[in-house]
Amino acid sequence: MSEPEDRTVVVTGGAGYIGSHTCVVLLEAGWRVVVIDNLDNSSEVAIDRVRELTGADADRCAFVEGDIREPADLDRAFAVGDAAAVVHFAGRKAVGESVDHPLWYYDHNVGGTVCLLEAMQRHGVRDLVFSSSCTVYGEPEGVPITEGMRVGAQSPYGRTKLIIEEMLADVAASEPGWRVALLRYFNPVGAHPSGRIGEDPVGIPNNLMPYIMQVAVGRRDHLTVNGDDYPTPDGTCIRDYLHVVDLAEGHLAALDHIDRLDGAIAVNLGTGVGSSVLDVVHAARAATGQPIPYEVGPRRAGDVVAAWADPTAAAELLGWRATRTLDEMCADHWRWQATNPAGYAS
Ligand code: NAD
Ligand code: UFG
């Protein structure tokens, strides 16, 4: 088997939040990276910062501005090097937007993945790591959540993830050689400890951590806590927050252990620890030194009460375990937010 130094991976959506962190980890491990991204929800500055952090030039960290729904764009990315594998992040990810514009989601996420798989077939690539989500569990059967629990999405976004998972299983069953990791992420937060790359949401953040950090930096007055009358110890919803660098390392682990996968296998990537909305507020206050005022508002429609992972399969199959704490997630997210108050436009 060739050394990572000789191997090229195509990273779709590699300019985005999780993709940029994963590119850093892959480059540091010796992979050559080819990013294809249409910059729909990201900035090319992220690629410059990935190169700056890793010392990679435009050859080791190549960038193709293109759309995964366009076969010619994909062919340009595969033509850069002899790809051994694909890590597939590209897609749209906002639940509310998916309810208002479902066809965008079926087009980018499902249609885009069909085009990607056809390109992989054209170029003889059979190893794939896919960004799935714990949203596929809907309101979970129980916690901690294991991969064998019932799936059932509650939004068009979630359904695209389930459809793609099933499509990948069908493709992997249809011909030998496919090795596909369906990574079901829990709640990625935080940023690279350098503060040079991080999450750069467009408009008002939907998600808790970016919203809290924009309050801390003074871009927003206060946080609205979406309900405090849930059946949890402090009445607020519980999630499994996961440092984005741990998550990025999960992708490297999946590539390193891909020979253990026969067909398409779903694996949870989470810490196994649940934190409430107020736990996150308290940790963020400590990390930022800012008061982070909040008001309690109504429940958010469709919110799951409590979701955290059983990460055993990731440890057994991929040799991966999250190691970073909620305090580190907040400290690193804050470093990024404080030094880039307007994101990459700062
Ligand atoms: P992101 O929006 O920051 O990154 C996605 C990237 O894909 C962006 O750079 C965007 O420009 C690009 N893109 C979108 N459509 C494209 C297309 N048709 N062609 C080429 N590029 C395209 O999102 P992220 O948070 O980094 O998420 C990455 C993946 O992980 C997504 O598939 C998302 O659904 C999944 N995921 C994210 C979370 C989360 O909380 N962030 C949780 C679970 C799963
Ligand atoms: N919350 C607030 N106020 C806010 C934002 C969020 O109280 O301003 C609460 C939410 O109601 C929820 C908790 O904080 O109870 C976490 O919310 P997030 O939106 O950060 O995370 P979710 O788990 O609800 O959803 C996110 C993505 C989904 C994805 C899921 C799992 O939005 O697309 O993580 O990866 F599927």
Q: What ranges in 220-292 are assigned the alpha helix state H?
A: 244-256, 277-288
Residue 290 lies in a domain: no
Residue 294 annotated as catalytic: no
Range of the domain at 20: 8-189+242-270+310-315
Residue 210 lies in a domain: no
Residue 107 lies in a domain: yes
Distance 226 CA to ligand 2 centre (A): 9
Number of H helices, E strands in the chain: 12, 13
Distance 207 CA to ligand 2 centre (A): 5
Each residue of 100-129: b (16+ CB within 10 Å) or e?
Answer: eeeebbbebbbebbebbbebbeebebbbbb
Residue 252 lies in a domain: yes
Residue 280 lies in a domain: no
Residue 292 lies in a domain: no
Single out the catalytic residue among 17, 157, 185, 211: 157
Ligand 1, pocket-test mutation among 37, 98, 197, most atoms within 8 A of CB: 37
Residue 29 lies in a domain: yes
Instruction: Work out the number of other CB atoms within 10 angstroms of the CB of residue 290.
Output: 16
Q: What ranges in the chain are assigned the alpha helix state H?
A: 17-28, 45-54, 71-80, 95-100, 102-105, 112-123, 156-174, 208-216, 244-256, 277-288, 312-313, 326-339
CA 304 – CA 92 distance, rounded (Å):
21
Task: Tell me 259's DSSP state.
Answer: G
HEC per residue, 50-70: HHHHHCCCCCCEEEEECCCCC
Task: Tell me 300's DSSP state.
Answer: P
Q: Give the total number of structural domains in the chain.
A: 1
- Atom 10, ligand 2: residue with shortest CA distance: 226
Position 3 scores a pLDDT of 61
- What integer is the mean pLDDT of 314-342? 97
For 302, the token pair is 């469709």
We report the CATH number of the domain holding residue 257 as 3.40.50.720
- What integer is the mean pLDDT of 65-94? 97
CA 44 – CA 143 distance, rounded (Å):
39
- What is the tens place of the pLDDT at every residue in 114-129? 999 999 999 999 999 9
Answer yes or no: are the C-beta atoms of 267 and 254 closer than 8 Å: yes
Residue 258 lies in a domain: yes
- What is the tens place of the pLDDT at every residue in 2-25? 566 689 999 999 999 999 999 999
